[in-house]
Structure 1
């Protein structure tokens, strides 16, 4: 694992990069840090993937302010633009919102070959969302960001409805997400598939890292096997193997 700083305009993001092969970008939930992905990244590395896990702006060792969704989405777009090949993006909660917002840009869509939403949908029911945040002790600290994200629901749903990518939604069996929230997502995009980890709550990466890693690996394999990206992925795997042998 390599720890590095990525300078993106007004923020410097601290990242951990590991493994070799096609890249999976890992975006944590609000209030978490990139370290939550460590056991997942290790498992994905063993499956032949390169992972990039970042502290999103305003979190962990990263700088920057986070009061609206826009800057988070811009960071995701910039992170994807830095990659030389196709990327699968896995975003949990806040990270999923940022990923969906970033996909509104055609340039981002052209570089992303798959999306994994970890217990997040574009337009969740506001009241259970706010209740969960209060129960976690966030109080008023995230009110402005929460208002902005929930107000962006229609736009995020519209974005997902036009995204022609394989999308995996991983639900926590003990999450506050309602079936109606999930059904709206599935109606908006017929390429959405659903997996449920029964013992997990909303913070799936923390509650069930091994199960989540396995689901991400399987979905990523199908995404990277798409005919339009297969050649680039084979090159990434060959380059990764070369670098590993040179160490």
Structure 2
């Protein structure tokens, strides 16, 4: 199953791990395979392409970076019978890490990917050398979360043109300049049989969202168990993770470090990849340095 045909110009994944729990997982890698493994996990509704700039920067710094499409997203397979949620995402993460040699990777997770990382580490499903949470903490603002849901739920029947897709994205991210060329949108949508442009994700994933309150309690309990080096990165313009929510996490996890990225919203890496990548590499140089 898929949302439709891939558009011309959509980047093909460098890897497809076929044994990921019966769901093929598509990913890209950068850097030296012998360097410390850094796993980049995108947010809900995004793809691995959200990490391209960060992955390239990490690779040049000597790390082995991997970004993969979560199940039900991008070029990865769709879960059968609503097989979504944190437990399935954690198992996919574990299998990708195993395919790349195992060990104790660095986990970098934005939004949904951050939640997967918290559950994986805080509940003891795997070990890691360090954790970077990107605009994600157990306490987020319901209004900001609803803003995301409203954006993702619009036009379930599909868009008539790429221009219409661009307008929808611009209305959600007014702080970003609207692209002059629409080619870059190809990786975010698929062309359905009826000629409509539909988002790349599986509608069943949207229908099986985690119950908000129960999921947040689970994340809070997982955060209580964090002992590894941890960095929280917040977008200064984010309406999802507030400064209060960030400080709440820092009180819960007092050993964690904190970076607030000005002029960035919830999609921190996409808004200010330069500052984001520099902050992450500075943190990793101290906690998980590259050895020559």
TM-score, length-normalised on structure 2?
0.71
Match of residue 169 from structure 1: 232
Distance in 1 separating the partners of 2:212 and 2:95:
20
- Aligned residue number for residue 24 of structure 2: 12
Give the SS at the match of 1:9.
coil
Q: Where in structure 2 are the equivalents of 1:151-230 lying within 5 Å?
A: 151-176=214-239, 177-225=241-289
- With over 3 angstroms needed to count, the CA separation of the structure-2 counterparts of 1:95 and 1:41, relative to structure 1, is same
What is the alpha-carbon distance in structure 2 between the residues aligned to residue 89 and residue 50 of structure 1? Answer: 12
* Segments of 4+ moved more than 6 angstroms: none
Give the structure 1 partner of residue 52 of structure 2: 38
Report the Cα offset of residue 108 of structure 1.
Answer: 0.6
The answer to whether structure 1 residue 75 and structure 2 residue 75 are counterparts is: no
RMSD, aligned CA? 2.3
Q: Which moved more, 1:73-82 or 1:45-54?
A: 73-82
| Structure with the larger helix share | 1
Deviations 1:110-147 (A, max 9, x none): xx01000111112323333113331x243596664444
CA deviation vs aligned residue, 1:207-246 (integer Å, no higher than 9, x gap): 1112111111111222215xxxxxxx64xx5xxxxxxxxx
Change in Cα spacing, 1:75 to 1:160, as seen in structure 2 (3 Å) is same
**Is the Cα contact below 8 Å between 1:68 and 1:149 reproduced in 2?**
no
Within 1, Cα distance between the matches of 2:22 and 2:13?
23
| Cα drift, residue 87 of structure 1 | 1.0
Give distance in 1, aligned partners of 2:94 and 2:139. Answer: 21
What corresponds to 2:114 in structure 1? 96
Contact 1:172 1:197 in 2 (8 A): yes
Q: How many residues align?
A: 225
Paired residues for 1:34-73 under 5 Å: 34-65=48-79, 67-73=84-90
SS for the counterpart of 2:122 is: coil
1:189/1:144 CA distance change after superposition, 3 Å: farther
5+ residue gaps in structure 2? 1-11, 157-202
Relative to the length of structure 1, the TM-score reads 0.82
